[in-house]
Structure 1
């Protein structure tokens, strides 16, 4: 298991039980959407100073693990 994944937490009473970064109120999905919209890690860290570079990498590792056995079909 990727040790970065230890940074991802899921708590039933927090943000609807969605995967979050280190128990903070920022979802993995939020970080992934920022990256998908062209933000760099440096820009994310500037906007969210309580995040660390490993948190961004953890979000990517979580996404990779989530789709590891899933085929993506482009239309």
Structure 2
């Protein structure tokens, strides 16, 4: 897997620093909002053609690794 920064950009000049897919203005949050609401990955990609399927899958895999990390409590405390 590449570096997280190859998939996700956090820049105060882009949407006030919200995490977005690298090279786009599409927020990472929008992917998970769509999935939570029953929208398929392919439908999401149709709505946001600037996001590649590879990048979307990589972000989902990154989230899965974070959520299954043995250090999830430390991550939570850092984010809180």
Common fold: TM-score over 0.5:
yes
Between Structure 1 and Structure 2, the one with more helix by share is 2
Cα root mean square deviation, aligned: 2.4
Q: Which has the higher contact order (CA 8 A, sep 6+)?
A: 1
TM-score (norm 2): 0.69
**TM superposition outliers: structure 1 runs of 4+ over 6 Å:** none
Gaps of 5+ in 1: 71-75
**Count of residue correspondences:** 71
Q: Is the 8 A contact 1:45 1:52 kept in 2?
A: yes
Aligned to 1:73: none
* Structure 1 residue 56 displacement after superposition: 1.5
Deviates more, 1:25-34 or 1:5-14: 5-14
TM-score (norm 1): 0.73
Matched, 1:8 2:20: no
State the alpha-carbon separation in 1 of the partners of residues 29 and 9 from structure 2.
Answer: 13
